[in-house]
Structure 1
Amino acid sequence: MKPDPLVVRQAISWALRLRNNRANVRLQAQCEHWRAAHGEHELAWQRVQALQQELSSQLTTIPGAQAALENSAQGLGRRQALKVLSGAVLMGSAAWMGRDLTGWPRWTSDLATATGERRSVQLPDGTRLQLNTDTAVDLNFSSQERLITLVRGEILVTCGAVSPVPLLVNTRHSVLEGIDGRFAVRQDRDCTRLTVVSGNVAIHSPHRADGLSTQVHTGESYRVQERRAILTPSPDMDMGAWADGLIVTRGIRLDEFLAEVGRYRHGYLGCSADIAGLRLSGVFRLEDTDKLLAVLAQTLPVQVRYRTRWWVSLEHLA
């Protein structure tokens, strides 16, 4: 369940009023009454609180940023302060985290993970759903429907053919039907990537003129766009290894490898053009990406340069 955007804005408004009037017992009671009036109010309140805590923890690493934000919010009216909070969320996501997300999908979706976080849940029908870094999904499960909507990010689904109701995964580009087995789905800007680890998956595209589905079998990978599904060569990276906290590569380019590692950390991670084409194979642990980069420096003729905590680049070893 995700709260209505209007309710979310009401929760933000209450949070700002209480922040600037912490000693006002009457205001606190009014907020408690609003929260208790409807379950959706409490859900929105908890998600706003979680977002504020995350933002505060990020700003504490930036000298003076937290104090500047508080002083700005206290000096403004409620409407302007609301804009400050929204702007801070955008700034924290786009500038400090180096990403193009606003954070809203994470706390308005049924299930979500932050950058670097992975999560595993068992759904009501027994299906195992695993969420990779920076992922958000919505769920609709009933006696008539089993639907996972991938809002953003990447999931690994393990299912069985035990229900007469089909298990569907909805993305921006198609609807996937899990027949049985295990399959990974990753939603990029221009396509959805599907890899079937075991079992079978059907790709349904509402835009295909013939109305036919594409059947995908064990070991196959597809790049799915709105009007076509393209069988791709075996990827140079194990698409499901992240569920075990690993990146497993086979001759992947260094720049592509760093782009993948960058999904699990905040800020910029890249390399100079003269080493971008270096190839590497191996098994790398995701639990500490700084240690992972240190391993690269021992494996390849490269050195790791930290300009700041959020700006890391690899250069050719002098």
Structure 2
Amino acid sequence: MSGSMVDPRVRDSAIDWMVRAQSGLMSAAEHQALQQWRQASAEHEYAWQRVSSLSLRLQPGAKLLADATARRALESAGVDPQRRRQMLKCLLALGLFGGVAWQGADSTLVRSALATYRTNIGERRRWALADGSSLWLNTASAVNLELTAQRRSVQLVEGELALDTPAESASLQLLTPDAVLYGRGAHWLVRHDRLGTQVTVLRGLAQVSARRHSLPVPLQAGWQTRIDRQGVAAPSRVDPFMAQAWLRGILPAERMRLDQLLAELSRYRPGFLRCSEAVAALRVTGSFQLDDTDAALALVANTLPVRIERRTRYWVTVVPA
């Protein structure tokens, strides 16, 4: 089932089964029912494997009933399975289980786990699609894909993609949480982060609109724009070679603030990477390897009056030398 979309109803069933399994209250009959549900179809098993990969299972919340208050609240729901699952989800949302937050089936975490294609932190991958298109995903990215005779749609759940479609291909819709794009035979770069969506057209033409503003803005090759809650920003020229640097594993910096550089590098490594306020505004110029962020940090330390302070492998701070 690799590369397939999961039916929302199957996805929700898988999530409910995971919540039950996490509760510690499943009976032997329910365990058997879960196995039967997983074995009923390849899609069920695929959805279960995706949901099971959620980081929720690796958090302190895996021992859900260690908290006495949470245990009493769950027991107060009685024996009705639906009431108990709802109570469990509420407790997770309130952070009563080890600080784990549960945002339901529409959370980015869940949607990323169930996406058609996804990458882990520090991973970049390319896929050759059935229609002749090429899809690249940058670090920690997720995409849902539907390419059929009736519908051609790509949904960027999170992260960054490059999509190169054949010149003779049919019109395609690309969605992000902020933006809606339409184009035909185009080569796009699209990134979504907390500031909005950035769109770059390398070839062809795209019609770009904000989710809340239906009036599209044409974006030609060699131009870039950003979309957020305010709408579509005025397009600006972009260097295509530099815009594609991440595809070559390079992060170029031209007098970039140090805190901005570290924010970019942090996308490619697990844990925390930050700097003290005393050095945040220092300017950096250079090319940094995305596949070796430790080497990139060493280059920063050799270039600027800073040193790298490591509490652990996953907690790194850049401070004054």
CA-to-aligned-CA distance 1:159-194 (integer Å, 9 cap, x gap): 22112x202211233322344453210113342111
Whether 1:276 and 2:270 are equivalent positions in the alignment is: no
**CA distance change for structure 1 residues 147 and 21 in 2, over 3 Å: closer, same or farther?**
closer
Whether 1:108 and 2:114 are equivalent positions in the alignment is: yes
**Which residue among 123, 129, 132 is the counterpart of 2:129?**
123
**Could you say which residue in structure 1 is the equivalent of 2:227?**
224
For the residue of structure 2 that corresponds to 1:265, the secondary structure is: coil
Whether 1:72 and 2:66 are equivalent positions in the alignment is: yes
Identity among equivalent pairs (%): 33
**Could you say which residue in structure 2 is the equivalent of 1:7?**
13
Whether 1:161 and 2:148 are equivalent positions in the alignment is: no
- Measured after TM superposition, the shift of residue 85 of structure 1 is 7.3
**Which residue among 125, 149, 154 is the counterpart of 2:155?**
149
User: What amino acid does structure 2 have at the position aligned with 1:168?
Assistant: Q
Contact 1:115 1:264 (C-alpha < 8 Å) held by counterparts: yes
- Measured after TM superposition, the shift of residue 258 of structure 1 is 0.7
**CA distance change for structure 1 residues 313 and 49 in 2, over 3 Å: closer, same or farther?**
same
Q: 2-side partners of 1:245 and 1:88: how far apart?
A: 41
**Which residue among 259, 263, 271 is the counterpart of 2:263?**
259
- Measured after TM superposition, the shift of residue 113 of structure 1 is 2.2
User: What amino acid does structure 1 have at the position aligned with 2:111?
Assistant: P
**CA distance change for structure 1 residues 191 and 21 in 2, over 3 Å: closer, same or farther?**
closer
Q: Give structure 1 stretches of 5+ with no counterpart.
A: 60-64, 95-100
**Which residue among 48, 51, 61 is the counterpart of 1:48?**
51
Question: How many equivalent pairs are there?
Answer: 295
Whether 1:172 and 2:177 are equivalent positions in the alignment is: yes
**CA distance change for structure 1 residues 92 and 216 in 2, over 3 Å: closer, same or farther?**
farther
Q: 2-side partners of 1:234 and 1:295: how far apart?
A: 27
Q: 2-side partners of 1:308 and 1:193: how far apart?
A: 33
Q: 1-side partners of 2:65 and 2:252: how far apart?
A: 47
